[in-house]
Amino acid sequence: MAKDQIKQGSGIVVKATGSWYTLKTTDGYILESNIKGKFRKEGFRSTNPVVVGDQVNYIIPSGQVTGVITAISERKNFIIRKASKLSKYSQIIAANIDQALLVISLVSPETHIEFIDRYLVSAEAYRIPAFLIFNKIDLYDNPLKNKMKEMILTYRNAGYKCFRVSAKTGSNMDNLQRLMRGKINLLSGNSGVGKSTLINRLDPSLNLTTAEISKYHKTGKHTTTFVEMHELIFGGFVIDTPGIKGFGLVHMEKDEIYHFFPEIFRLSKMCKYYNCKHIDEPGCAVLQAVKEESISNSRYQSYRNLYLDEDSKYRK
């Protein structure tokens, strides 16, 4: 194909649906594109070689209105999980993220501690600053409020900033806006925790589809079925993702998992043995801290479960 028959350019992937990708080009246009040939990034098998947040080059063949992605720029980071428990493939959720926001609910549905910790480990592994957003505070009775306070104390002690909001009433949304302004924000969480409602409250002009919680199962319905990046009216971008049920870790050596629990990593330097696994070794400063309750038992159990997990094939 002669050069005068094609248009070339670059842009960012803002939406991914199957084999088609929506690009926002550097000159401000929206372009639907697909890929030609196979891309294999980062040295492992992925279900989605091109993802939202990727900076790409494209061509538009003569006489066509859609583009073809020809190259992907090196990613500064990405967040990834196992595609499924039995799969040998991984799924990259998004790339080139400034910060990751995990939306948590303590009711309808309940977000489980180990899910939170697995998500945070993945963010730590790829050096993505992570924040926890406790949503639906308008629904919490006193026992749930107390549980939320305990969880926030646990994660603040680990080094994570936490926010308490209500997407329904708008409570404390101004603090969230300040956090997100001018950044590329990845918003994740289980189905039904209120991600789309939260985005609509932050920027009503986006008018994303929302759905009621299933009364029978007390779980969320998938209102977001693909990953999409939206520009925020107050500055910055938010990447909306489908609800995630589980978060299997990938591409991680077993003996480095403790590096991604900040409070465990900090104390590991004080262990008697340099190669301490923090499981049952004598002179382990981490085990002593758990005993003294200066490290949360729930966080330690998440670490222990990950380390001892027989399904830890993700680490290769």
pLDDT in tens, 118-149: 999 999 999 999 999 999 999 999 999 999 99
**Contact (CB, 8 A) for 95 and 51:** yes
- Which of the pair, 296 or 108, is modelled with greater confidence? 296
Nearest 5 degrees, angle CA 223-CA 29-CA 179?
55
Same domain, 119 and 193: yes
Mean pLDDT for the stretch of residues 21-27: 96
Residue 172 neighbours by CB distance under 10 Å:
15
Which residue range is the domain that position 54 belongs to? 3-72
In angstroms, the CA 105 to CA 111 distance is 6
- The set of residues, in sequence order, having a beta carbon less than 8 Å from that of 210 and lying 6+ positions away, is 196, 197, 200, 223
Residue 243 confidence (pLDDT) = 77
User: With 0-12 CB in 10 A as exposed, 13-18 as middle and 19+ as buried, what is 180?
Assistant: buried
Residue 312 confidence (pLDDT) = 47
Query: Domain boundary at 179, 210, 240, which?
Result: 240
pTM above 0.85?
A: yes
Residue 217 confidence (pLDDT) = 40
Query: Domain boundary at 207, 240, 273, which?
Result: 240
Per the structure, how many domains does the chain have?
A: 3
- Which of the pair, 309 or 228, is modelled with greater confidence? 228
Q: Beta strand 227-231 with 237-240: parallel, antiparallel or unpaired?
A: antiparallel
In angstroms, the CA 149 to CA 132 distance is 13
The helix (run of H) or strand (run of E) holding residue 47 is none
Mean pLDDT of the chain: 87
The model's pLDDT over 239-249, given as tens digits with 9 standing for 90+, comes to 998 877 667 67
Domain with residue 264: its CATH number is 1.10.40.50
Query: Domain boundary at 240, 262, 279, which?
Result: 240
The model's pLDDT over 31-56, given as tens digits with 9 standing for 90+, comes to 999 987 766 555 556 777 899 999 99
The model's pLDDT over 57-80, given as tens digits with 9 standing for 90+, comes to 999 998 899 999 999 999 999 988
Confidence of residue 225 (pLDDT cuts 50, 70, 90): low
Residue 14 confidence (pLDDT) = 97
Evaluated on CA atoms 149, 151, 154, 159, the torsion sign reads negative
Same domain, 83 and 232: yes
The helix (run of H) or strand (run of E) holding residue 33 is strand 30-35
Which of 150-164, 219-233, 276-290, 293-307 is predicted with the least confidence, judged by mean pLDDT? Answer: 219-233
Same domain, 59 and 92: no
Same domain, 106 and 137: yes
In angstroms, the CA 31 to CA 14 distance is 10
User: Is it true that the peptide bond before 109 is cis, omega within 30 degrees of 0?
Assistant: yes
Same domain, 212 and 279: no
Indicate whether 249 belongs to any domain: no
**Contact (CB, 8 A) for 58 and 10:** yes
Same domain, 163 and 233: yes
The helix (run of H) or strand (run of E) holding residue 270 is none
Mean pLDDT for the stretch of residues 250-265: 91
**Contact (CB, 8 A) for 98 and 63:** no
Cα→Cα distances 34→19, 138, 243, 282, Å: 6, 43, 25, 56
The model's pLDDT over 199-215, given as tens digits with 9 standing for 90+, comes to 999 999 998 876 554 44
